[in-house]
Amino acid sequence: MSYLEDLFNFLDALLGSAVYFPFALLGVGVLLTLYLGFPQVRYFRHAWRVLRGKYTADDAPGDTSHFEALSTALSGTVGTGNIGGVAFAIFLGGPAALFWMWVTAFLGMTTKFAEVTISHRYRVEDETGRMAGGPMYYMEHGLGMKWLAVFFAVATVISSFGSGNLPQSNNMAAGLETSLGIAPWLSGAVLAVLLGLVIVGGIRRIAVVAATIVPFMGVLYAVAAIAVAVSNFEQIIPSFLSVFQDAFTGSAAAGGFLGATFAYAFNRGVNRGLFSNEAGQGSAPIAHASARTDEPASEGMVAILEPFIDTLIICTLTGLVILSSGVWKEKFETDFAATDTEIVTGIYSEGDATHVQQLFAHMDLNPPPDDPVQAFSGTLAVRAGRLDTSAVTVLHNRSISENVRVFVGDDAYIGELTVVDGRVDNDGVRLVGESLLHSVPLTAEAFKRSFLGAYGQFAVTLGLVLFAFSTAIAWSYYGDRAMTYLFGAAAVMPYRVVYVIGFFLATIADTSMIWLISAVTLALMTLPNLLGLVLMRGEIRELANGYWRKVTSQDSQSA
């Protein structure tokens, strides 16, 4: 597992966590926003009218309505990123990370408009009579770059597991286990069967299920989040202000939180913002390709609403709940995940500013070459389950852990713990102690800090199950459209079988490893799509301007 972790960390350092990645994502967003004349502002009201079907002809080609296409795309974006992803961003970057999620969403409204518009222009009808679209079609037929189209389609298949399958299933199982005590393998088995029943029906069944689940789950989660925020109303304004105050300086150390530099908060906020709304990743155009319309730009305008709903509304509510509750800087009893645990030589304290600075630098994206914090190697005594920490510090979830115990199953461990380069090398042992939380468990704790009390976690669990399940459904469609492009319709059913199996297996995998895989696969789709959008920007503007002239002409004649 450690070798696999090292591999994905290496790939992540080259892709999603690289210094250039957030600048590339936001840079393309800024370029397109200026080049297209701020479409996220100019077309925002019109997008709602298109969504209601006002400008759509009854005989327009397509398989779904605008609302069903938007619901399918939203079901792919409104997932664990809105519950666990926001918590993960704040865990890594503090309040400042939420600001950069907002920036990513605002610029992402333009990016989403551009990618859906140009992809819709080059959609085709497959051999079964269904619409097939996505960036691979504009890359091949618009740019004449078949190699880029194939690369993107392969990346889409991989990312359907890394973005839409594994993290959704894993976080959903963790949430059900935490709040209801349901074993991950059991929840995974039941939901995997339900997933298979839905996706075997193709886009029509997927669209109907998405159009039913998405509005219900969005409203339900928003109401619960507002109720929790109201319970901590005295902290809402300070929390909101901290997002802006820390945006360009980084988040200072607070409680168990060791702080975050500007670069770290910026990188993680943009990265998690992309995971949440997928603007620029190229996934949403695949769902929107099914919409009934003969005007590509009209569907692009509908897509503007996705980052607005997903990030600027739902993610903001999650972020304010976490920040106003204060749980993001508190430690809780938790089982230590191996990939989040490191034992270092020496005693470090949160009360020592030098120690805090050294530990954060040690865990930063680029640790200093003369890092004084050294991984421990050797043996540690364990007596009646208590680990001897007289000469070492146990780090877990980017915090100094406390009250560390060692177990084999449910029994206290007695003996020696072998540590190699900071990692526990004993088979079958597990560490338990107090540390910061991240992802779904952090959001669940935040929801408990309200008049809902312990019942608050059930709102998170229900939202999580609905969000994650609908996201897995949508991404199965993205994957099968990519398989259709690569190998034809015959490849879809084998893909769906593997997809369902992966959904089940992810429920028992390591959470941090899942997020790492997600970060790598996300970048594999995003980078070629951003390149394609820059190259196709002229045609995108022509499609937008041509459509807008028609609309204004129709509106003036009917006035």
Q: What is the pLDDT of residues 217-276, one digit of tens each?
A: 788 888 888 888 888 889 989 988 988 988 888 888 888 888 887 777 887 777 766 666
| Nearest alpha carbon to residue 31 among 528, 542, 519, 536 | 536
Cα–Cα distances in angstroms (integers) from residue 457 to residues 83, 342, 441, 460, in the given order: 12, 29, 9, 5
Q: What is the mean pLDDT of the segment spanning 523-536?
A: 93
Report the C-alpha dihedral over residues 113, 96, 5, 473, rounded to 10 degrees: -40
C-alpha to C-alpha distance for 311 and 308, rounded to whole angstroms: 6
- For residues 289 and 171, which has the higher predicted lDDT (pLDDT)? 289
Mind listing the pLDDT tens digit for each residue in 465-483? 887 888 888 888 889 899 9
Whether the Cβ atoms of residue 455 and residue 462 lie closer than 8 Å to each other: no
Asked if residue 1 has pLDDT above 70, the reply is: no
pLDDT (0 to 100) of residue 2 = 61
Identity of the highest mean pLDDT range in 72-76, 132-136, 201-205, 539-543: 539-543
- Inter-residue contact 522 to 16 (CB < 8 Å): yes
On the question of pLDDT at 58 being above 70, the answer is no
* β-bridge mates for residue 433, sequence order: 334
Phi, psi dihedrals of residue 259, rounded to the nearest 5°: 95, 165
Start-end of CATH 1.20.1740.10 domains in the chain: 38-330+446-547
Domain covering 38-330+446-547: architecture: Up-down Bundle (1.20)
Give the pLDDT mean for 31-50: 94
Q: Token pair of 252, please?
A: 């200072």
For residue 159, pLDDT over 90 is answered with: no
